[in-house]
Amino acid sequence: MAMIEVKVPDIGDFTDVAVIELLVKVGERVKAEQSLVTVESDKASMEIPCSHAGVVRALRVALGDKVNIGSVLLELEAEGALESAAAAAAVPAVAAPAALVAVPVAAAPAPAQAAQQPSAPVPAPSTAPAAAPTPATAALPHASPSVRKFARELGVPLAEVSGSGLKGRITLADVQAFSRAVMAGQQHTLAGRAALAGSGAGGGSASGSELGLIPWPKVDFAKFGPIERKELGRIKKISAANLLRNAVMIPAVTNHDDADITELEAFRVATNREHEKSGVKVTMLAFLIKACVAALKKFPDFNSSLDGDALIVKNYWHIGFAADTPNGLMVPVLKNADQKGVLQISLEMAELAKKARDGKLSPAEMSGATFTISSLGGIGGRYFTPIINAPEVAILGVCKSQMSPVWNGEAFVPRLLLPLSLTWDHRVIDGAAAARFNAYLGQILADFRRVLL
Protein backbone atom coordinates (compact mmCIF):
# COMPACT_ATOMS: atom_id res chain seq x y z
CA MET A 1 0.00 0.00 0.00
CA ALA A 2 1.33 3.45 -0.87
CA MET A 3 -0.23 6.88 -0.75
CA ILE A 4 -0.13 8.65 -4.07
CA GLU A 5 -1.41 11.94 -5.31
CA VAL A 6 -3.51 11.56 -8.42
CA LYS A 7 -3.04 14.60 -10.62
CA VAL A 8 -4.62 15.99 -13.76
CA PRO A 9 -2.74 14.49 -16.68
CA ASP A 10 -1.96 16.25 -19.92
CA ILE A 11 -5.41 16.98 -21.30
CA GLY A 12 -4.32 18.88 -24.32
CA ASP A 13 -5.06 22.54 -24.82
CA PHE A 14 -7.27 22.92 -21.81
CA THR A 15 -6.44 25.29 -19.01
CA ASP A 16 -8.50 26.31 -16.01
CA VAL A 17 -11.15 23.69 -16.66
CA ALA A 18 -13.91 23.43 -14.06
CA VAL A 19 -14.64 20.31 -12.07
CA ILE A 20 -18.33 19.64 -12.78
CA GLU A 21 -18.75 16.15 -11.38
CA LEU A 22 -17.09 14.26 -8.55
CA LEU A 23 -17.48 10.60 -9.38
CA VAL A 24 -15.88 9.09 -6.27
CA LYS A 25 -16.10 9.62 -2.52
CA VAL A 26 -13.58 9.49 0.30
CA GLY A 27 -13.25 5.91 1.49
CA GLU A 28 -14.40 4.51 -1.84
CA ARG A 29 -12.42 1.67 -3.40
CA VAL A 30 -11.69 2.51 -7.03
CA LYS A 31 -10.45 0.40 -9.87
CA ALA A 32 -7.68 1.38 -12.23
CA GLU A 33 -9.19 3.45 -15.06
CA GLN A 34 -12.33 4.24 -13.10
CA SER A 35 -13.38 7.83 -13.74
CA LEU A 36 -12.66 10.14 -10.83
CA VAL A 37 -13.95 13.53 -11.87
CA THR A 38 -15.49 15.19 -14.90
CA VAL A 39 -13.98 18.48 -15.97
CA GLU A 40 -15.46 20.85 -18.47
CA SER A 41 -14.12 23.67 -20.56
CA ASP A 42 -16.30 25.92 -22.67
CA LYS A 43 -15.92 23.44 -25.52
CA ALA A 44 -15.81 20.00 -24.03
CA SER A 45 -16.17 17.88 -20.98
CA MET A 46 -14.03 14.88 -20.13
CA GLU A 47 -13.62 12.35 -17.40
CA ILE A 48 -10.29 11.83 -15.74
CA PRO A 49 -9.64 8.18 -14.92
CA CYS A 50 -7.53 6.78 -12.12
CA SER A 51 -4.18 5.28 -12.90
CA HIS A 52 -4.27 2.82 -10.01
CA ALA A 53 -6.62 0.71 -8.03
CA GLY A 54 -6.89 1.74 -4.41
CA VAL A 55 -8.90 3.54 -1.78
CA VAL A 56 -9.62 7.26 -1.97
CA ARG A 57 -8.26 8.81 1.21
CA ALA A 58 -8.83 12.53 0.49
CA LEU A 59 -10.43 14.62 -2.20
CA ARG A 60 -8.36 17.65 -3.05
CA VAL A 61 -10.87 19.30 -5.37
CA ALA A 62 -14.45 20.41 -4.98
CA LEU A 63 -17.19 21.05 -7.51
CA GLY A 64 -16.52 24.23 -9.43
CA ASP A 65 -12.76 24.25 -8.75
CA LYS A 66 -10.64 25.16 -11.73
CA VAL A 67 -7.87 22.70 -12.49
CA ASN A 68 -4.90 22.48 -14.83
CA ILE A 69 -2.41 19.88 -15.81
CA GLY A 70 -0.67 18.68 -12.65
CA SER A 71 -3.41 19.82 -10.23
CA VAL A 72 -3.86 17.26 -7.48
CA LEU A 73 -7.30 15.66 -7.64
CA LEU A 74 -7.12 13.27 -4.73
CA GLU A 75 -4.95 11.17 -2.48
CA LEU A 76 -5.14 7.49 -3.08
CA GLU A 77 -3.93 4.59 -1.01
CA ALA A 78 -2.81 2.58 -3.98
CA GLU A 79 -3.04 -1.17 -4.03
CA GLY A 80 -0.72 -3.58 -5.77
CA ALA A 81 2.97 -3.56 -6.49
CA LEU A 82 3.94 0.08 -6.42
CA GLU A 83 7.43 1.31 -5.77
CA SER A 84 6.85 3.79 -2.98
CA ALA A 85 9.34 6.30 -4.34
CA ALA A 86 7.74 6.28 -7.75
CA ALA A 87 4.32 6.16 -6.23
CA ALA A 88 4.84 9.36 -4.31
CA ALA A 89 5.11 11.21 -7.58
CA ALA A 90 2.59 9.16 -9.45
CA VAL A 91 0.39 10.85 -11.97
CA PRO A 92 -2.11 8.87 -13.95
CA ALA A 93 -1.31 8.06 -17.49
CA VAL A 94 -3.43 10.02 -19.92
CA ALA A 95 -6.76 8.64 -20.82
CA ALA A 96 -8.49 9.76 -23.94
CA PRO A 97 -10.81 12.67 -23.31
CA ALA A 98 -13.81 10.61 -22.60
CA ALA A 99 -16.68 12.78 -23.49
CA LEU A 100 -17.41 15.82 -25.50
CA VAL A 101 -20.52 17.77 -24.89
CA ALA A 102 -22.00 20.45 -27.09
CA VAL A 103 -19.53 19.98 -29.87
CA PRO A 104 -19.85 17.61 -32.78
CA VAL A 105 -18.57 14.12 -32.17
CA ALA A 106 -16.05 14.57 -34.90
CA ALA A 107 -14.43 17.37 -32.93
CA ALA A 108 -13.43 14.98 -30.16
CA PRO A 109 -9.72 14.25 -30.14
CA ALA A 110 -9.30 10.89 -31.77
CA PRO A 111 -8.29 8.14 -29.38
CA ALA A 112 -5.09 7.55 -31.28
CA GLN A 113 -4.09 11.18 -30.89
CA ALA A 114 -4.94 11.18 -27.25
CA ALA A 115 -2.91 8.07 -26.66
CA GLN A 116 0.09 9.73 -28.28
CA GLN A 117 -0.02 12.78 -26.06
CA PRO A 118 2.67 12.93 -23.44
CA SER A 119 1.16 11.03 -20.64
CA ALA A 120 2.05 13.23 -17.71
CA PRO A 121 4.43 15.90 -16.49
CA VAL A 122 6.26 13.25 -14.52
CA PRO A 123 6.63 9.74 -15.78
CA ALA A 124 3.99 7.36 -14.62
CA PRO A 125 5.33 4.50 -12.57
CA SER A 126 6.05 1.45 -14.60
CA THR A 127 3.34 -0.35 -12.71
CA ALA A 128 0.70 2.24 -13.65
CA PRO A 129 -2.31 0.16 -14.57
CA ALA A 130 -3.68 2.83 -16.90
CA ALA A 131 -0.69 2.34 -19.15
CA ALA A 132 -1.12 -1.40 -19.25
CA PRO A 133 -3.57 -2.81 -21.74
CA THR A 134 -6.75 -3.85 -20.03
CA PRO A 135 -8.24 -6.94 -21.59
CA ALA A 136 -11.72 -6.10 -22.77
CA THR A 137 -14.31 -8.28 -21.12
CA ALA A 138 -16.85 -9.41 -23.64
CA ALA A 139 -19.59 -9.44 -21.03
CA LEU A 140 -19.19 -5.91 -19.72
CA PRO A 141 -18.75 -2.97 -22.08
CA HIS A 142 -15.88 -0.77 -21.00
CA ALA A 143 -17.41 2.52 -19.86
CA SER A 144 -17.42 4.77 -16.84
CA PRO A 145 -20.32 4.74 -14.39
CA SER A 146 -21.54 8.11 -15.58
CA VAL A 147 -21.53 6.95 -19.20
CA ARG A 148 -23.38 3.80 -18.15
CA LYS A 149 -25.92 5.90 -16.29
CA PHE A 150 -26.37 8.19 -19.29
CA ALA A 151 -26.84 5.19 -21.60
CA ARG A 152 -29.36 3.68 -19.20
CA GLU A 153 -31.34 6.93 -19.14
CA LEU A 154 -31.48 7.01 -22.92
CA GLY A 155 -32.21 3.31 -23.21
CA VAL A 156 -29.05 2.83 -25.27
CA PRO A 157 -27.76 -0.77 -25.11
CA LEU A 158 -24.08 -0.22 -24.25
CA ALA A 159 -23.07 -3.65 -25.54
CA GLU A 160 -23.97 -2.44 -29.04
CA VAL A 161 -21.98 0.79 -28.90
CA SER A 162 -18.42 0.82 -30.25
CA GLY A 163 -16.01 2.63 -28.00
CA SER A 164 -13.77 5.28 -29.51
CA GLY A 165 -11.90 5.94 -26.29
CA LEU A 166 -8.63 4.53 -25.14
CA LYS A 167 -8.64 0.72 -25.28
CA GLY A 168 -12.12 0.75 -26.74
CA ARG A 169 -13.60 2.70 -23.83
CA ILE A 170 -17.15 3.84 -24.61
CA THR A 171 -17.42 7.57 -24.19
CA LEU A 172 -20.40 9.82 -23.65
CA ALA A 173 -19.94 11.03 -27.23
CA ASP A 174 -20.16 7.42 -28.47
CA VAL A 175 -23.47 6.98 -26.67
CA GLN A 176 -24.74 10.29 -28.05
CA ALA A 177 -23.67 9.36 -31.57
CA PHE A 178 -25.32 5.94 -31.28
CA SER A 179 -28.54 7.48 -30.00
CA ARG A 180 -28.49 10.11 -32.75
CA ALA A 181 -27.97 7.46 -35.42
CA VAL A 182 -30.90 5.41 -34.08
CA MET A 183 -33.10 8.51 -33.90
CA ALA A 184 -32.18 9.42 -37.47
CA GLY A 185 -33.00 5.90 -38.59
CA GLN A 186 -29.40 5.31 -39.69
CA GLN A 187 -28.95 2.51 -37.18
CA HIS A 188 -31.08 0.05 -35.21
CA THR A 189 -30.54 -1.58 -31.89
CA LEU A 190 -30.54 -5.37 -32.01
CA ALA A 191 -33.89 -5.36 -30.21
CA GLY A 192 -35.27 -2.84 -32.69
CA ARG A 193 -34.05 -4.91 -35.62
CA ALA A 194 -35.52 -8.08 -34.18
CA ALA A 195 -38.81 -6.34 -33.59
CA LEU A 196 -38.84 -4.85 -37.08
CA ALA A 197 -38.06 -8.25 -38.53
CA GLY A 198 -40.70 -9.85 -36.30
CA SER A 199 -43.33 -7.31 -37.24
CA GLY A 200 -42.51 -7.59 -40.91
CA ALA A 201 -41.73 -3.88 -40.96
CA GLY A 202 -38.16 -4.36 -42.03
CA GLY A 203 -35.20 -6.27 -40.72
CA GLY A 204 -31.79 -7.12 -42.03
CA SER A 205 -29.01 -4.60 -41.89
CA ALA A 206 -28.27 -2.16 -39.11
CA SER A 207 -27.77 0.76 -41.44
CA GLY A 208 -31.42 1.72 -41.60
CA SER A 209 -31.24 1.27 -45.34
CA GLU A 210 -33.82 -1.50 -45.09
CA LEU A 211 -36.35 1.20 -44.30
CA GLY A 212 -35.40 2.89 -47.53
CA LEU A 213 -34.79 6.17 -45.77
CA ILE A 214 -32.58 8.86 -47.17
CA PRO A 215 -30.14 10.41 -44.65
CA TRP A 216 -31.40 13.01 -42.21
CA PRO A 217 -30.93 16.49 -43.76
CA LYS A 218 -27.89 18.34 -42.49
CA VAL A 219 -28.43 22.07 -42.57
CA ASP A 220 -26.16 24.81 -41.32
CA PHE A 221 -29.01 26.87 -39.88
CA ALA A 222 -26.66 29.67 -38.86
CA LYS A 223 -26.19 30.41 -42.53
CA PHE A 224 -29.78 31.56 -42.71
CA GLY A 225 -30.06 33.58 -39.51
CA PRO A 226 -29.21 33.74 -35.82
CA ILE A 227 -29.72 30.51 -33.89
CA GLU A 228 -29.51 29.25 -30.34
CA ARG A 229 -28.61 25.67 -29.41
CA LYS A 230 -30.55 24.18 -26.49
CA GLU A 231 -29.66 20.72 -25.28
CA LEU A 232 -32.67 18.49 -24.63
CA GLY A 233 -33.34 17.69 -20.98
CA ARG A 234 -33.10 14.17 -19.60
CA ILE A 235 -36.85 13.46 -19.65
CA LYS A 236 -37.19 14.75 -23.21
CA LYS A 237 -34.34 12.53 -24.36
CA ILE A 238 -35.92 9.48 -22.77
CA SER A 239 -39.37 10.28 -24.20
CA ALA A 240 -37.88 11.00 -27.61
CA ALA A 241 -36.30 7.55 -27.84
CA ASN A 242 -39.52 5.87 -26.69
CA LEU A 243 -41.79 7.94 -28.94
CA LEU A 244 -39.65 7.29 -31.99
CA ARG A 245 -39.65 3.54 -31.38
CA ASN A 246 -43.41 3.52 -30.83
CA ALA A 247 -44.12 5.70 -33.86
CA VAL A 248 -41.92 3.62 -36.14
CA MET A 249 -42.80 0.17 -34.92
CA ILE A 250 -46.54 0.34 -34.37
CA PRO A 251 -48.86 0.40 -37.38
CA ALA A 252 -51.10 2.93 -35.68
CA VAL A 253 -54.41 4.34 -36.84
CA THR A 254 -56.44 7.08 -35.15
CA ASN A 255 -60.25 7.28 -35.06
CA HIS A 256 -61.81 10.60 -34.15
CA ASP A 257 -65.23 10.96 -32.60
CA ASP A 258 -67.29 13.29 -30.41
CA ALA A 259 -69.00 12.41 -27.15
CA ASP A 260 -71.97 14.36 -25.90
CA ILE A 261 -71.05 15.28 -22.32
CA THR A 262 -73.72 17.93 -21.74
CA GLU A 263 -75.32 16.09 -18.81
CA LEU A 264 -72.03 14.73 -17.48
CA GLU A 265 -70.53 18.22 -17.37
CA ALA A 266 -73.55 19.49 -15.42
CA PHE A 267 -73.10 16.57 -13.00
CA ARG A 268 -69.36 17.32 -12.72
CA VAL A 269 -70.01 20.98 -11.89
CA ALA A 270 -72.65 19.98 -9.32
CA THR A 271 -70.29 17.40 -7.78
CA ASN A 272 -67.56 19.97 -7.44
CA ARG A 273 -69.98 22.38 -5.81
CA GLU A 274 -71.03 19.68 -3.34
CA HIS A 275 -67.43 18.85 -2.48
CA GLU A 276 -66.14 22.40 -2.53
CA LYS A 277 -65.03 22.25 1.11
CA SER A 278 -63.37 18.84 0.89
CA GLY A 279 -60.67 20.08 -1.45
CA VAL A 280 -61.40 17.41 -4.06
CA LYS A 281 -61.76 18.78 -7.57
CA VAL A 282 -63.21 16.54 -10.22
CA THR A 283 -62.20 17.16 -13.84
CA MET A 284 -63.53 15.41 -16.93
CA LEU A 285 -60.40 13.25 -16.96
CA ALA A 286 -61.48 11.38 -13.81
CA PHE A 287 -64.80 10.48 -15.48
CA LEU A 288 -62.92 9.50 -18.61
CA ILE A 289 -60.70 7.11 -16.67
CA LYS A 290 -63.75 5.42 -15.22
CA ALA A 291 -65.52 5.38 -18.60
CA CYS A 292 -62.45 3.93 -20.30
CA VAL A 293 -62.28 1.10 -17.76
CA ALA A 294 -65.88 0.20 -18.69
CA ALA A 295 -65.01 0.30 -22.41
CA LEU A 296 -61.83 -1.74 -21.84
CA LYS A 297 -63.84 -4.36 -20.00
CA LYS A 298 -66.27 -4.57 -22.90
CA PHE A 299 -63.43 -4.67 -25.47
CA PRO A 300 -60.62 -6.55 -23.65
CA ASP A 301 -58.25 -6.54 -26.63
CA PHE A 302 -57.70 -2.82 -25.97
CA ASN A 303 -56.34 -3.78 -22.53
CA SER A 304 -53.67 -6.08 -23.89
CA SER A 305 -50.09 -6.30 -25.13
CA LEU A 306 -48.55 -8.21 -28.01
CA ASP A 307 -46.12 -10.96 -27.10
CA GLY A 308 -44.78 -12.41 -30.34
CA ASP A 309 -47.74 -14.18 -31.91
CA ALA A 310 -49.82 -14.07 -28.72
CA LEU A 311 -51.90 -11.44 -27.05
CA ILE A 312 -51.56 -10.94 -23.31
CA VAL A 313 -54.96 -9.73 -22.15
CA LYS A 314 -54.75 -8.12 -18.73
CA ASN A 315 -57.38 -8.61 -16.09
CA TYR A 316 -56.39 -5.49 -14.25
CA TRP A 317 -57.03 -1.91 -15.28
CA HIS A 318 -54.19 0.53 -14.61
CA ILE A 319 -54.68 3.76 -16.53
CA GLY A 320 -51.73 5.97 -17.45
CA PHE A 321 -52.37 9.66 -18.04
CA ALA A 322 -50.00 12.03 -19.80
CA ALA A 323 -48.94 14.93 -17.61
CA ASP A 324 -47.30 18.05 -18.94
CA THR A 325 -44.42 19.00 -16.62
CA PRO A 326 -41.70 21.65 -16.79
CA ASN A 327 -39.25 18.85 -17.60
CA GLY A 328 -41.35 17.29 -20.33
CA LEU A 329 -44.01 14.66 -20.70
CA MET A 330 -44.48 12.12 -17.88
CA VAL A 331 -47.05 9.34 -17.65
CA PRO A 332 -48.09 8.52 -14.07
CA VAL A 333 -50.25 5.44 -13.69
CA LEU A 334 -53.47 5.28 -11.74
CA LYS A 335 -53.58 1.72 -10.48
CA ASN A 336 -56.72 -0.44 -10.18
CA ALA A 337 -58.97 2.26 -11.60
CA ASP A 338 -61.79 -0.32 -11.78
CA GLN A 339 -61.87 -0.50 -7.98
CA LYS A 340 -62.07 3.26 -7.40
CA GLY A 341 -64.78 5.87 -7.54
CA VAL A 342 -64.46 9.13 -9.45
CA LEU A 343 -63.68 11.14 -6.28
CA GLN A 344 -60.91 8.73 -5.28
CA ILE A 345 -59.55 8.80 -8.84
CA SER A 346 -59.57 12.63 -8.77
CA LEU A 347 -57.64 12.69 -5.50
CA GLU A 348 -55.00 10.21 -6.65
CA MET A 349 -54.70 11.88 -10.05
CA ALA A 350 -54.05 15.26 -8.43
CA GLU A 351 -51.36 13.71 -6.20
CA LEU A 352 -49.70 11.91 -9.10
CA ALA A 353 -49.83 15.01 -11.34
CA LYS A 354 -48.22 17.10 -8.59
CA LYS A 355 -45.49 14.51 -8.08
CA ALA A 356 -44.92 14.48 -11.85
CA ARG A 357 -44.56 18.27 -11.96
CA ASP A 358 -42.20 18.19 -8.94
CA GLY A 359 -40.11 15.45 -10.59
CA LYS A 360 -40.88 13.12 -7.67
CA LEU A 361 -42.63 10.20 -9.38
CA SER A 362 -41.15 6.84 -8.51
CA PRO A 363 -40.58 4.27 -11.27
CA ALA A 364 -43.37 2.18 -9.73
CA GLU A 365 -45.77 5.10 -10.15
CA MET A 366 -44.95 5.23 -13.85
CA SER A 367 -45.20 1.55 -14.66
CA GLY A 368 -47.81 -1.09 -15.24
CA ALA A 369 -50.26 0.92 -17.35
CA THR A 370 -52.64 -1.10 -19.49
CA PHE A 371 -54.08 1.88 -21.40
CA THR A 372 -53.23 5.59 -21.51
CA ILE A 373 -55.24 8.78 -21.79
CA SER A 374 -53.66 11.99 -23.02
CA SER A 375 -55.90 14.94 -22.20
CA LEU A 376 -55.33 18.35 -23.71
CA GLY A 377 -58.80 19.35 -22.55
CA GLY A 378 -57.50 22.00 -20.17
CA ILE A 379 -55.51 23.61 -22.96
CA GLY A 380 -57.47 23.48 -26.20
CA GLY A 381 -57.48 22.10 -29.70
CA ARG A 382 -59.97 19.81 -31.42
CA TYR A 383 -58.33 16.49 -32.31
CA PHE A 384 -54.82 15.06 -32.40
CA THR A 385 -53.10 11.75 -33.05
CA PRO A 386 -51.51 10.48 -29.83
CA ILE A 387 -48.68 7.96 -30.06
CA ILE A 388 -49.29 4.60 -28.37
CA ASN A 389 -47.30 4.01 -25.21
CA ALA A 390 -45.79 0.58 -25.95
CA PRO A 391 -46.34 -2.17 -25.01
CA GLU A 392 -49.92 -0.96 -24.71
CA VAL A 393 -52.04 -1.27 -27.84
CA ALA A 394 -54.21 1.86 -27.66
CA ILE A 395 -54.29 5.38 -26.32
CA LEU A 396 -57.11 7.89 -26.04
CA GLY A 397 -56.47 11.55 -26.84
CA VAL A 398 -58.99 14.08 -25.55
CA CYS A 399 -59.35 17.75 -26.43
CA LYS A 400 -61.37 20.65 -25.14
CA SER A 401 -65.12 20.23 -25.05
CA GLN A 402 -67.05 22.74 -27.07
CA MET A 403 -70.70 23.77 -27.21
CA SER A 404 -71.87 22.84 -30.72
CA PRO A 405 -75.13 22.78 -32.66
CA VAL A 406 -76.35 19.20 -32.95
CA TRP A 407 -79.28 18.15 -35.13
CA ASN A 408 -81.79 16.16 -33.05
CA GLY A 409 -84.05 15.27 -35.98
CA GLU A 410 -86.11 18.39 -35.70
CA ALA A 411 -83.81 21.21 -34.80
CA PHE A 412 -80.25 22.13 -33.97
CA VAL A 413 -79.76 22.05 -30.23
CA PRO A 414 -76.72 23.24 -28.27
CA ARG A 415 -74.77 20.26 -26.89
CA LEU A 416 -71.38 20.08 -25.21
CA LEU A 417 -69.18 17.81 -27.32
CA LEU A 418 -65.94 16.24 -26.19
CA PRO A 419 -63.51 15.44 -29.03
CA LEU A 420 -62.01 11.95 -28.72
CA SER A 421 -59.04 10.61 -30.69
CA LEU A 422 -58.38 6.91 -30.24
CA THR A 423 -55.09 5.61 -31.62
CA TRP A 424 -54.84 1.81 -31.88
CA ASP A 425 -52.36 -0.82 -32.97
CA HIS A 426 -53.63 -2.34 -36.21
CA ARG A 427 -51.81 -5.60 -35.49
CA VAL A 428 -54.18 -6.16 -32.60
CA ILE A 429 -57.27 -4.09 -33.28
CA ASP A 430 -59.17 -3.33 -36.45
CA GLY A 431 -61.10 -0.27 -37.52
CA ALA A 432 -64.51 -1.73 -36.74
CA ALA A 433 -63.51 -2.56 -33.15
CA ALA A 434 -62.03 0.92 -32.72
CA ALA A 435 -65.22 2.56 -34.01
CA ARG A 436 -67.25 0.40 -31.60
CA PHE A 437 -64.95 1.27 -28.70
CA ASN A 438 -65.38 5.00 -29.39
CA ALA A 439 -69.13 4.66 -29.86
CA TYR A 440 -69.46 2.75 -26.56
CA LEU A 441 -67.26 5.28 -24.76
CA GLY A 442 -69.48 8.02 -26.18
CA GLN A 443 -72.59 6.25 -24.88
CA ILE A 444 -71.13 5.98 -21.40
CA LEU A 445 -70.07 9.62 -21.35
CA ALA A 446 -73.52 10.65 -22.61
CA ASP A 447 -75.19 8.66 -19.83
CA PHE A 448 -72.78 7.73 -17.07
CA ARG A 449 -75.29 5.34 -15.46
CA ARG A 450 -74.15 2.82 -18.08
CA VAL A 451 -70.94 2.36 -16.09
CA LEU A 452 -73.05 0.40 -13.63
CA LEU A 453 -74.36 -2.02 -16.22
Q: How far apart are the C-alpha atoms of 230 and 389, rounded to whole Å?
A: 26
Interface residue with ligand CAO, options 82, 377, 395, 429 (CB under 6 A):
377
Closest CA to 154 of 232, 248, 246, 46: 232
Dihedral sign from CA coordinates of 94, 95, 101, 103: positive
Helix runs in 155-249, H state only: 172-183, 190-199, 234-249
Distance of CA 46 to the CA centre of its chain: 23
Distances (CA, A) of 333 to 227, 368, 448: 38, 7, 23
128 counts as binding ligand CAO under rule CB under 6 A: no
Site for ligand CAO in 400-419 (CB under 6 A): 400-401, 418
Give the SS3 label for residue 390. Answer: coil
> Residue 45, interface with ligand CAO (CB under 6 A)?
no
Amino acid identity at 87? A
| Identity of the residue, 170 or 264, whose beta carbon is nearer to ligand CAO in the bound complex | 264
Least CB distance to ligand CAO at residue 119 (A):
50
SS3 (DSSP) at 78 = strand
Task: Examine residue 422 and tell whether it contacts ligand CAO (CB under 6 A).
Answer: no
Q: How many CA atoms lie within 13 A of 396 on its CB side?
A: 33
- Min CB(249)–ligand CAO separation in Å: 18
Residue 445 as a binder of ligand CAO (CB under 6 A): the answer is no
| Position 284 contacts ligand CAO (CB under 6 A) | yes
Residue 417 Cβ vs ligand CAO, minimum distance, rounded to whole Å = 10
Query: Which listed residue (178, 299, 317, 321) binds ligand CAO by CB under 6 A?
Result: 321
Binding to ligand CAO by residue 259, rule CB under 6 A? no
- 374 secondary structure, DSSP code: E
Q: Which of 34, 127, 283, 443 binds ligand CAO (CB under 6 A)?
A: 283
Q: Is 376 in the site for ligand CAO (CB under 6 A)?
A: yes
Assess 285 for contact with ligand CAO (CB under 6 A). yes
Residues noted as catalytic: 426
Closer to ligand CAO at the Cβ: 117 or 283?
283
Please list, residue by residue across 193-229, b when 16 or more beta carbons sit within 10 angstroms of its beta carbon and e when fewer do.
bebbeeeeebeeebebebbeeeeeeeeeeeeeeeeee
- Name the minimum Å distance from CB 274 to ligand CAO: 15
From the CB of 38, what's the least distance to ligand CAO, in Å? 32
Comparison of 167 and 275: residue with beta carbon closer to ligand CAO:
275
The residues that touch ligand CAO, with contacts defined as CB under 6 A, are 283-285, 321-324, 329, 353, 374-378, 386, 398, 400-401, 418
